[in-house]
Amino acid sequence: MTKRVLNLHLERAVLATIDFAMAAETESFDTPELRANVDRFLGRGEGRPGGGRA
């Protein structure tokens, strides 16, 4: 029962914030900063083999 109580609490907390969280995340998908981080993660950052923008 303790686990169920904790899960109910977490579920309600998520439901109270998920709309804002998803909207904020969606806004960040099209930023130059994100593109640079993805390129760096994939090894396509400037100064690396195959680097630079296509």
Q: What is the tens place of the pLDDT at every residue in 1-48?
A: 999 999 999 999 999 999 999 999 998 888 999 999 999 999 986 655
Tell if the pTM clears 0.85, that is, is over it. Answer: no
What's the confidence (pLDDT) of residue 47? 55
- Which are the contacts of 39, defined by CB distance < 8 A and separation ≥ 6? 45, 51, 53
CA 35 to chain centre: 12
What would the pLDDT profile of 14-27 be if each residue is shown by its tens digit?
999 999 999 999 98
Q: Which residue has better confidence, 37 or 50?
A: 37
Look at residue 28 in the predicted model and tell me its pLDDT: 86
